[in-house]
Structure 1
Amino acid sequence: MMTDMPWWLWLLIALGAIVIAALAFIAGRLLSQLKSQNERRDVAIGQRNERLQESIVTIAKSMDQGQCPLSEGALRLVVLLDLRVERGPRAYSERYPALHDMYERIKHMPTHGARKEYPKAEIRKMDDEREGYEKELEDAILADVRQLLKDFN
């Protein structure tokens, strides 16, 4: 019967039950912490994406209204779109091909302070090249910008 078991076997069973209960408690706490951490991460990602969306919409509107050069806007928009965190496939290069085409054509060109390191003749040559791309791709870029504004509003 049960009373025939030695006392040390009862002790082992009791210790096993205590260990299992302790491990279950620890696992529950860790799962709770993980859930909380995931919720905080999701909130942070949502806030970040919101700020990115505001910037994307602002730049796209200024491009559409002619207040921002198409090449500069394309550079900024492609980078901002790439920074968004999304669950599914992004495929922004397929949705906005002209923006990405412009980006690929001019991403090697220096901007801001880096321009000062180049001779003026070389800067003029790059500016002429960039302006040529803007004229060539203007209609397609503006179509992408308008589609982007629809998608993000």
Structure 2
Amino acid sequence: MLWTVLVIVALLVIVALGFYAGRLLFQLKQQNQRQQKVRDERIKTISESIYTIAKAMEQQQCDLSEGVIRIVNLLGALPILSPPDHKASYPHTYALFVEVSGFAVLEDRQKLSKQEKRKQDIAREQIESDYESKVLSEMPAIKTYCQSIT
């Protein structure tokens, strides 16, 4: 009689623990699905932004250096688990990014004198002209990549 009660209690504990474990697994699955949905939406939003910037650069509606800075930062922000080597895929875009990333922006630019601003603008324009055709030739590949990940 005692053994029967112990076996029944043990079975009830096992069933309760099994139910609890199943419930936790279900909640984990839901959480993973929500996270994947958020990740997919973020990838879509970022890739649309990159596509728009690349298109604007091709149509001369966006400064080359500004577009490159934005594109490189957005490519780095893509929440892809195993991202490709964008630096190798778009070497001229990254090279221009490195060249222009040393210039003053925002508050730092406001602190510069008019002469210093003009000097930086001239240097930036020279760098942009050196890279223009090379960077613009990479824009179709960047746009294609953005369309492929959405």
- Whether TM-score is above 0.5 comes out as yes
Question: Corresponding residue for 1:102?
Answer: 96
Question: Separation in 2 of the partners of 1:52 and 1:89?
Answer: 14
Question: Corresponding residue for 1:120?
Answer: 114
5+ residue gaps, structure 2, are none
> Which of residues 22, 31, 41 in structure 2 aligns to 1:47?
41
> Which of residues 3, 8, 12 in structure 2 aligns to 1:18?
12
Identity %: 35
- Give the superposition deviation at 1:142: 0.6
TM-score relative to the length of structure 2: 0.88
- Give the superposition deviation at 1:88: 2.6
Question: Does 1:82 find its partner at 2:76?
Answer: yes
Amino acid at match of 2:139: V
Question: Corresponding residue for 1:3?
Answer: none
5+ residue gaps, structure 1, are 1-5
> Which of residues 130, 148, 152 in structure 1 aligns to 2:146?
152
Q: CA RMSD in A?
A: 1.6
CA-to-aligned-CA distance 1:73-132 (integer Å, 9 cap, x gap): 000000111111113332111111111111112223222343102222222222222112
Question: Separation in 1 of the partners of 2:123 and 2:51?
Answer: 27
Question: Corresponding residue for 1:57?
Answer: 51
Q: If you compute each CA radius of gyration, which structure gives the higher value, 1 or 2?
A: 1
Question: Separation in 1 of the partners of 2:7 and 2:102?
Answer: 70
Structure with more relative contact order (C-alpha pairs < 8 Å, separation 6 or more): 2
Question: Separation in 1 of the partners of 2:60 and 2:82?
Answer: 32
Runs of 4+ in 1 over 6 A off after TM superposition: none
Segment of structure 1 superposing worse, 68-77 or 90-99: 90-99
TM-score relative to the length of structure 1: 0.87
- Equivalent pairs, count: 147
